[in-house]
């Protein structure tokens, strides 16, 4: 299980039935009681969910909602997806299967944003900065769940910008394009790029799917865990040196319906 201050990815490594729900319930309860506000159940290892498993999922959703958080399910097989639809779990929590993620095409440099706003990150008051950025994200045509996810993803990128630099020149830029929202988080640190082995999807490959621990010892590993979570929450995440000057550019992309962006 990979933990974050606000997010946790919980791998379900076997069928979720009466013989396994107790251990999963203990894990989820510990996370919620510890203040986690986003629990992602990775169902890659599950081919079956019985009534006890469904009861656990609904219980977790209710508990998390009461705390202002969100439980979601990813990597569900077709059989599990059908069970979740029959039980109407899909009406109360985000659920995704094992199909391909949305393809994010390169943005045509000739296309100008409908609007763009930059916010300086205050390294002494991240909460205030998150509130300001949240106001910008609410201008975008996100569902409540998408809003929750993108707020967490941007917050993770902001935390990295402050944690690994002095935060003196870090900023967030939110841009609305006809088919997507682009959020850039930049800093003036020594620069960092995601290593090539970093998983880019949640289709069941690599440590993101719970197939092994990620290195814990250094600051790059710290960022690595955050990057995996950001990639789970956004449609695209790229981490590169800034085009000019010193520092890192984290770009988060979320695809939206063009008509919805035009109305926002």
Residue 91 sits in a domain whose CATH number is 3.30.750.24
Q: Do residues 120 and 250 share a domain?
A: yes
Q: Which positions ≥6 away from 73 have C-beta within 8 Å?
A: 40, 41, 43, 57, 84, 89, 93, 94, 95, 96
Q: Do residues 131 and 240 share a domain?
A: yes
Q: Do residues 91 and 127 share a domain?
A: no
Residue 207, in any domain of the structure: no
Q: Which pair of structure tokens corresponds to residue 104?
A: 């994010």
Give the per-residue pLDDT at 208: 34
With DSSP H G I counted as helix, E B as strand and the rest as coil, what are the percentages for the chain, rounded to 5? 40, 20, 40
Give the per-residue pLDDT at 184: 97
Alpha-helical runs (H) found in 87-234: 126-137, 144-163, 219-233
Residue 202, in any domain of the structure: no
CA distances from 126 to 133, 134, 195, 247 (A): 10, 12, 27, 19
- The pLDDT of residue 209 is above 50: no
Residue that terminates a domain, selected from 97, 129, 159:
97
Residue that terminates a domain, selected from 48, 66, 97:
97
- CA gyration radius, the chain: 19
Residue 205, in any domain of the structure: no
CA distances from 228 to 7, 74, 129 (A): 11, 14, 23
Q: In which band, very low, low, confident or very high, does the pLDDT at 27 lie, cut at 50, 70 and 90?
A: very high
Q: Do residues 145 and 21 share a domain?
A: no
Q: Which residues face 117 on adjacent strands? A: 174
Residue 19, in any domain of the structure: yes
| Domain extent at residue 18 | 7-97
5 φ/ψ sector (left φ>0, alpha ψ -120 to 50, else beta): alpha
Instruction: Provide the 10 A C-beta neighbour count for residue 87.
Output: 17
Q: Do residues 152 and 234 share a domain?
A: yes
- The pLDDT of residue 263 is above 90: no
Q: Which pair of structure tokens corresponds to residue 62?
A: 């209710």
Q: Do residues 248 and 189 share a domain?
A: yes
Residue that terminates a domain, selected from 97, 125, 157:
97
Residue 21, in any domain of the structure: yes
C-alpha angle 35/69/62, rounded to 5°? 105
Give the per-residue pLDDT at 264: 56
| Segment among 116-120, 155-159, 166-170, 201-205 with least mean pLDDT | 201-205
Q: Do residues 119 and 242 share a domain?
A: yes
- The pLDDT of residue 140 is above 50: yes
Q: Do residues 20 and 139 share a domain?
A: no
How many domains would you assign to the chain?
2
Q: Do residues 61 and 152 share a domain?
A: no
Residue 264, in any domain of the structure: no
CATH code where residue 150 lies: 3.30.565.10
Residue 44, in any domain of the structure: yes
Measuring CA to CA, which residue among 6, 68, 55 is closest to residue 31?
Answer: 6
Contact in structure between 249 and 167 (CB atoms under 8 Å): no
Q: Which positions ≥6 away from 178 have C-beta within 8 Å?
A: 111, 114, 258, 261, 262
Across the beta sheet with 7-11, the strand order is: 2-3, 7-11, 38-42, 70-76, 95-97
Q: Do residues 137 and 64 share a domain?
A: no
Identify which has the larger pLDDT, 118 or 194: 118
Q: Do residues 191 and 67 share a domain?
A: no
CA distances from 179 to 232, 250, 252 (A): 20, 19, 14
Q: Do residues 64 and 176 share a domain?
A: no
- The pLDDT of residue 191 is above 70: no
Give the per-residue pLDDT at 211: 31
Residue 166, in any domain of the structure: yes
Location of structure tokens 């199909």: 99
pTM: 0.64
């Amino acid at each position: 299980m990979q933990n974050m201050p606000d997010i946790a990815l919980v791998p379900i490594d076997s069928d979720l039935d009466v013989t396994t729900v107790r251990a999963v319930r203990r894990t989820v309860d510990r996370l919620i009681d510890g203040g986690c506000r986003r629990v992602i159940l990775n169902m890659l290892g599950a081919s079956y969910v019985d009534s006890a498993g469904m009861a656990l999922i609904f219980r977790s959703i209710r508990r998390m909602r009461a705390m202002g958080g969100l439980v979601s399910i990813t990597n569900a097989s077709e059989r599990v997806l059908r069970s979740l639809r029959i039980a109407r779990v899909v009406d109360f929590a985000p659920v995704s299967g094992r199909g391909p993620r949305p393809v994010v095409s390169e943005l045509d440099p000739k296309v100008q944003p409908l609007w763009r706003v930059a916010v300086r990150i205050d390294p002494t008051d991240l909460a205030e900065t998150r509130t300001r950025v949240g106001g910008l994200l609410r201008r975008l045509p996100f569902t409540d769940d998408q809003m929750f996810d993108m707020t967490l993803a941007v917050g993770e990128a902001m935390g990295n910008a402050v944690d690994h630099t002095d935060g003196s020149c870090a900023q967030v830029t939110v841009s609305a394009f006809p088919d997507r929202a682009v959020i850039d988080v930049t800093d003036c640190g020594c620069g960092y790029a995601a290593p090539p082995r970093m998983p880019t999807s949640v289709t069941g490959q690599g440590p993101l799917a719970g197939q092994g621990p990620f290195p814990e010892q250094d600051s790059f590993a710290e960022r690595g865990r955050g990057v995996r979570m950001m990639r789970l929450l956004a449609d695209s995440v790229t981490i590169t040196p800034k085009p000019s000057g010193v520092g890192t550019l984290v770009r988060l992309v979320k695809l939206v319906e063009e008509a919805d962006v035009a109305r926002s």
